[in-house]
């Protein structure tokens, strides 16, 4: 492994992940910072990056490339959205340089449902990093799911992001378990309750009605209250995987590439397997690094 040549950051709403990389894209160092854009005051991002992130990564003089919410109106500066369909080259052409040596990746904007629109920041970098990592998968049409607080379902054709949808599954789970009649501090670690939730999700329709079963099964059927988070997780993820491909106009039985955190991807894998859908899981962090390296190299 050579000396550090680039600082790469995925700077989101709640935290910042930073890597120093060598000329080949190998990781020299990795650190996480409690510097999510939701915690920054206006105009503070540049100072915190220069005073804290650069020294910690040993990269005071290195070029840097950043993706995620740091490119939003809450972050350092706004990197305007690129419209779908979008390619790696389109993103490279729209990199924003708020200060010499620092470049920020634009987000992507799509048509969404019923013309309401949809947006992403950060997931596009992982997607194109995944394509760079796996050129054998770049041809044809692919359905990619990025689980998370705001899960993304993305249709890729010939290395271009054609269409995508966002599902607020993770955020909805957090809200329901903290601020509703379903609130609970129990862990979502009961496999049988999770599977029960998957079955209760049906085809993903009537979610508001199906959600009440999470309470009714406890007060009306005597199920243990501590299993509610696991049941709710299965119900929400099950409804998402049942409906998202159909809403994108994709065959519900089409294989899905899962891109992201291994633990969360495993829940989606189980939900999709219950519907007879084949999946393959890929590491989201490695894809993010590959995407930042590819974008850095695509534009001198």
Residue ranges of the domains in the chain?
6-140+285-298, 167-283
Rounded CA separation 242/57 (Å): 43
Q: Retrieve residue 49's tokens.
A: 């990056």
115-134 mean pLDDT: 96
Nearest residue to 285 via CA among 107, 87, 49, 19:
19
Question: Could you say which architecture CATH assigns to the domain 167-283?
Answer: 2-Layer Sandwich (3.30)
Residue 239 CB contacts under 8 Å (≥ 6 apart), including other chains = 201, 202, 204, 207, 210
CA angle (31 as vertex; 30, 34 as ends), nearest 5 = 155
150-166 mean pLDDT: 97
Q: What are the angstrom distances between the C-alpha of 97 and each of 80, 88, 165, 230?
A: 12, 17, 28, 44
Rounded CA separation 56/110 (Å): 37
Rounded CA separation 84/39 (Å): 30
Q: Please answer whether residues 296 and 103 qualify as being in contact, where contact means their C-beta atoms are separated by less than 8 angstroms.
A: yes
pLDDT number for residue 298: 87
pLDDT number for residue 115: 87
pLDDT number for residue 4: 94
Q: How confident is the model at residue 300 (pLDDT cuts 50, 70, 90)?
A: low
Residue 138 has pLDDT above 90, yes or no: no
- Domain 6-140+285-298 and domain 167-283, same fold? Reply is yes
Q: What's the Rg (C-alpha) of the chain?
A: 20
110-129 mean pLDDT: 96
178-205 mean pLDDT: 97
pTM above 0.85, yes or no: yes
Question: What b/e readout covers 94-108, taking b as 16+ CB neighbours within 10 angstroms?
Answer: bbbebeeebbbbbbb
pLDDT number for residue 239: 98
The CATH homologous superfamily for domain 6-140+285-298 is 2-keto-3-deoxy-galactonokinase, substrate binding domain (3.30.420.300)
pLDDT number for residue 2: 83
Q: Please answer whether residues 137 and 257 qualify as being in contact, where contact means their C-beta atoms are separated by less than 8 angstroms.
A: yes
Rounded CA separation 234/231 (Å): 5
pLDDT number for residue 1: 74
């Amino acid at each position: 492994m050579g000396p550090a040549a680039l600082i790469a950051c995925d700077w989101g709403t709640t935290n910042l992940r930073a890597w120093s990389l060598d000329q080949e894209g190998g990781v020299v160092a990795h650190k996480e910072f409690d510097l999510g854009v939701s915690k920054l005051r206006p105009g503070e991002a540049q100072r915190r990056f220069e005073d804290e992130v650069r020294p910690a990564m040993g990269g005071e003089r290195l070029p840097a490339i950043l993706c995620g919410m740091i490119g939003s109106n809450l972050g350092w500066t706004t990197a305007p959205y690129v419209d779908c369909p979008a390619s790696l080259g389109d993103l490279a052409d729209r990199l924003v340089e708020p200060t010499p040596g620092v470049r920020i990746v634009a987000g992507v904007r799509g048509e969404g449902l019923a013309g309401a629109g949809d947006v992403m920041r950060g997931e596009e970098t992982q997607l194109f990093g995944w394509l760079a990592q796996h050129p054998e998968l770049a041809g044809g049409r692919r359905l990619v799911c990025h689980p998370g607080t705001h899960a993304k379902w993305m249709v890729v054709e010939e290395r271009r992001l054609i269409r995508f949808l966002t599902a607020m599954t993770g955020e909805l789970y957090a809200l329901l378990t903290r601020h509703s009649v379903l609130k609970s501090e129990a862990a979502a670690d009961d496999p049988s309750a999770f599977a029960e939730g998957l079955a209760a999700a049906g085809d993903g329709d009537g979610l508001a009605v199906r959600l009440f079963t999470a309470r009714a099964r406890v007060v009306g059927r005597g199920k243990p209250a501590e299993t509610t988070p696991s049941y709710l997780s299965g119900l929400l993820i099950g409804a998402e995987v049942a409906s998202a491909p159909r809403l994108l106009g994709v065959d519900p039985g089409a294989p899905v590439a899962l891109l992201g955190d291994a633990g969360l991807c495993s829940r989606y894998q189980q939900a999709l397997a219950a519907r007879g859908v084949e999946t393959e899981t890929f590491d989201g962090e490695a894809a993010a690094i590959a995407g930042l390296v590819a974008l850095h190299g695509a534009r001198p």
